[in-house]
A = this chain, B = another copy of it.
Amino acid sequence: MKTTTDTIHKFIQQKQNRINTVLRDIIPTSYPPLLHHAIEHSLFGSCKRIRPFLVYTSFELFDNNLDKIDPLAAAVELSHTYSLIHDDLPAMDDDDLRRGQPTCHKKFGEDIAILAGDTLNTFTFELLSSTLPHHFTPSHCLDAIRYLSHATGGNGMAGGQIYDLYPIQKTPTFNHLKQTHHLKTGALITASVVIPAILGGASKTEKEALTQFGHHLGLLFQITDDILDVTSTQKVLGKTPHKDILQDKTTYVSLLGLEKAQQFAQEEADQAKDALHYFGTQQEPLTQLVDYIVNRKH
């Protein structure tokens, strides 16, 4: 058991180091200095870099040359960071702490935070359209841009945030909650495993397997988030805990109770792993990531 935990920590650490190096130089220094500082502030800090990990690990199922996929790994992290900056704003989740440090608007003001998020969102597409074509066909590059923009838009991440703020009904049902998280968290996580497969030349079956994996992993991620909001501390979490209870928000824990939520997390974890059977032993890092997420403390 210890060995597996050590291995996944090593896997994650390797990819973290890689993506941090890529991200360190990625924001154009020609940006207005204030904008550049705000973006760098939000991009670093205590970050797990799960989405880039998924990009790299999914791509390795098809191709071992990770240089090709660095821009996509960066793009999903930039997109995730843009969503965090905007979600943390006073008009939305109103959070003071993120990644173990003050949120972007707390440090730089709301106006800069809005524009930093906007810039990251836009830059994602500039990055993909200018760097992916070095290694992939123009047609595959367009597929990647189409998939990511759909996953982060009104039928994906941004739409999910709307449902999170304004649920379809005052107390959402279990299915409403699943649908909200499928958009808010699941869409970008699924994109992080499916786009590398598209670029790597995956078959239809392989893409479908990874889509299923992404759906279950995304849900698992949200359930464990809800559980940690109840069970963790600010120091370990790097953001404000007990937010859901304070905001009287419906979560898997409030709907199911802690024990059943933990059971639901395990079921999603099992289904995520099942979806990977097609890839045989090659998918070991992804399976280990699932166990890591189930057991995560922050």
A residues sitting closer than 8 Å to B (CB atoms) are 27-28, 30-32, 34-36, 39, 82, 86, 89, 91-92, 109-112, 114-115, 117-119, 121-123, 125-126, 129-130, 133, 137-139, 141-142, 145-146, 149-150, 152-155, 158-159, 161-163, 165-166
B residues near A146, Cβ cutoff 8 Å: 126, 129-130
Min CB distance A160 to B, Å, is 9
Question: B155 and A129: CB pair below 8 A?
Answer: no
| A87 to B136 Cα, complex, angstroms | 37
| A89 to B117 Cα, complex, angstroms | 14
Give the one of A36, A112, A153, A165 with max B CB within 10 A. A153
B residues near A150, Cβ cutoff 8 Å: 126
| A114 to B129 Cα, complex, angstroms | 25
Question: A92 and B118: CB pair below 8 A?
Answer: no
Question: B149 and A31: CB pair below 8 A?
Answer: no
Min CB distance A47 to B, Å, is 21
| A86 to B116 Cα, complex, angstroms | 12
- What residue of chain B has the Cβ atom nearest to residue A159's Cβ? B32
Question: B154 and A31: CB pair below 8 A?
Answer: yes
| A152 to B124 Cα, complex, angstroms | 12
Min CB distance A78 to B, Å, is 11
5 contacts between A and B (CB under 8 A): A27-B154, A31-B159, A34-B162, A82-B118, A123-B153
B residues near A158, Cβ cutoff 8 Å: 35, 115, 118-119, 122
B residues near A139, Cβ cutoff 8 Å: 133, 138
- What residue of chain B has the Cβ atom nearest to residue A166's Cβ? B34
Question: A149 and B162: CB pair below 8 A?
Answer: no
Question: A117 and B118: CB pair below 8 A?
Answer: yes
